[in-house]
Amino acid sequence: MKTKQGWPIGVCSWSLQQDIKGVAASLRGLGIKHVHLAVGPAIGRGGKAYLGTALKQDWTVTSAMINFPQEDYSSLGAIRRTGGIMPDRQWPANRKRFIQACNAAAMLGTHYISFHAGFLDHRNIKNARKFYDRMNWLADIAAGRNLILLMETGQESAADLSYFLDILEHPAVGVNFDPANMILYDKDVPAKAVKILAPWIRHIHIKDAVRTNKRGAWGSEVPWGDGEVGGNKFLKSLEKAGYKGAVAIEREAGDQRLADISLAVKRLR
């Protein structure tokens, strides 16, 4: 199944809030065979069964996704403190988790593994150096398994992220572009941000949102096409940028996620 532009349509597995067999059943019902697959469940107890079930499906895994246990999304301040690779106390365990995630991603035959790297702040020189060093280490691990590590857009502007990527200059680092995150974090305008980040964009999330009116608070996620991303304008900006990859529908709010995902499929086609 493809968009009007010819991009494969996928779904983020975690959006369905189901076990791996439930994800498979939901994707069959939607007629979708592309998936952005969470690989956290492939680590530790039950991991072999999870991977085994995933490998039996007629899927194209457009990317794997890994999160970290300490991440707290209860507020903007909380995720700034706890997000991604920066918390020192969890870094040794998270390095091990990332290696295991890359091993799982390689088994799934995907080219990408995505994550939220955490809060990027070039004004704090010490922390910026630590961020660069840790990203280099992770990217080397990914490259060793023929993977590209994708940083998901979120807590930084497109200009800040492009500045980081220009300096890092690692061939195994790209961007998973989530337009709604730029609105949820009140950081950028998605269609304009595509122009800035185009050289690094390898994977797309289809997600929509409206900005907050309260400083320091989250925006609100809404079904695709109902928010401020500007679906048609955003997709046209991807076309102009020459995007050739997949688009994965992500829905992380609401109590009718499967219906919202189905609506997004219809609007994309």
224-247 pLDDT tens trace: 999 999 999 999 999 999 999 999
> Does a structural domain hold residue 223?
no
> Does a structural domain hold residue 193?
no
pTM: 0.96
What is the tens place of the pLDDT at every residue in 89-102?
A: 999 999 999 999 99
> Does a structural domain hold residue 20?
yes
> Does a structural domain hold residue 188?
no
What is the tens place of the pLDDT at every residue in 192-223?
A: 999 999 999 999 999 999 999 888 889 999 99
Q: What are the CA-CA distances from residue 139 to residues 68, 79, 144, 149, 227 (Å)?
A: 16, 22, 9, 6, 34
- Bridge partners for 203 per DSSP: 176
> Does a structural domain hold residue 241?
yes
Is residue 154 scored above 90 in pLDDT?
no
> Does a structural domain hold residue 211?
no
Is residue 73 scored above 90 in pLDDT?
yes
**Count of structural domains within the chain:** 1
Range of the domain at 153: 9-177+237-252
Q: 88: Cβ–Cβ under 8 A, 6 or more apart, which residues?
A: none
- Give the CA dihedral 153, 226, 8, 269, nearest 10 degrees: -160
Backbone angles phi, psi at 221, to 5 degrees: -80, 140
Q: What are the CA-CA distances from residue 250 to residues 48, 53, 220, 253 (Å)?
A: 25, 22, 14, 9
Task: Please name the residue that has the structure tokens 């939607």.
Answer: 30
> Does a structural domain hold residue 224?
no
> Does a structural domain hold residue 245?
yes
Give me the CATH number covering residue 58. 3.20.20.150
